[in-house]
Amino acid sequence: MSNKGLIHVYYGDGKGKTTAALGLALRAAGCGKNVVIVEFIKNWACGEHNSISQISNIKLFRGKAAGGKFIYEMSEEERQETKASQDECLRSALEIVEKGECDVLILDEAIDAQELGILDAELFEGLIYSKPDTLELVITGHKPDVRLLDRADYATEMIKRKHPYDEGICARQGIEF
C-alpha cells in the first residue's frame, strides 16, 4: 500500500464538487487521518459546518468576504480585505501541513478564488508544485487552468445537464447548503 499523497481536482459547472471533497474528508477522518479544509469565497452558513465541528480530526478554516458581499459587488478596498482573509486561511492550513499534522488538505473553491484575484497565486501554486509527498490534496472550483489539470492525479469534471435553479428553485438548506 502506497503512502504517496495524490492531487484531486473536482471542477466544472455541475453540482457535487464540494460534496465529493467533503465525502473524502469524512472517509479519511473515519480512518483516523487528520483533515484540514479551507473554504474560500463562501460566506454563508452551511449544514456541513455543524457536522464537521463534531469531528475532532477535521479542522475548518473559512475566509471572510468583506461586508458579506459577492466579489463583483466589492470596492477595491473590500477586495483587498477579502484577499487578506483568504490568504490568512491558506497560510494557517499550510502551517499545519508543515508541522506534519495534516494528511488530507481540501481547498474548496480555491480555483475560483485564484481566478478572481483574491488568493495569493504564488502561495497556491507553490503548494501544488511542492506539496509534501504524503499529503493528499483536494482542490475544487469551476475552471482550472491547464497547468493544474496536468499536475492532478485525479481530474473529475462535474457537468451540469439540469439544475433546479434554472427552473427558479432556490438552494435548499440541508441539500445545497
Percentage helix, strand, coil for the chain under 3-state DSSP, each rounded to 5: 40, 20, 40
Q: Tell me the per-residue pLDDT of 86-101, one tens digit each, with 9 for 90 and over.
A: 999 999 999 999 999 9
**pLDDT tens digits for range 10-54:** 999 999 999 999 999 999 999 999 999 999 988 777 889 999 999
Quote the number of domains for the chain. Answer: 1
Distances, alpha carbon 80 to alpha carbons 43, 97, 174, in Å:
16, 25, 32
Rg (CA), the chain: 16
- Rounded distance between C-alpha atoms, residue 161 and residue 165, angstroms: 12
17, part of any domain: yes
Question: What's 144's domain CATH number?
Answer: 3.40.50.300
Q: How many whole angstroms separate alpha carbon 143 and alpha carbon 118?
A: 15
Range of the domain at 91: 7-167
- Average pLDDT over the chain, rounded to an integer: 93
Is residue 1 in some structural domain? no
Percent of the chain with pLDDT strictly greater than 90: 79
pTM of the model: 0.93
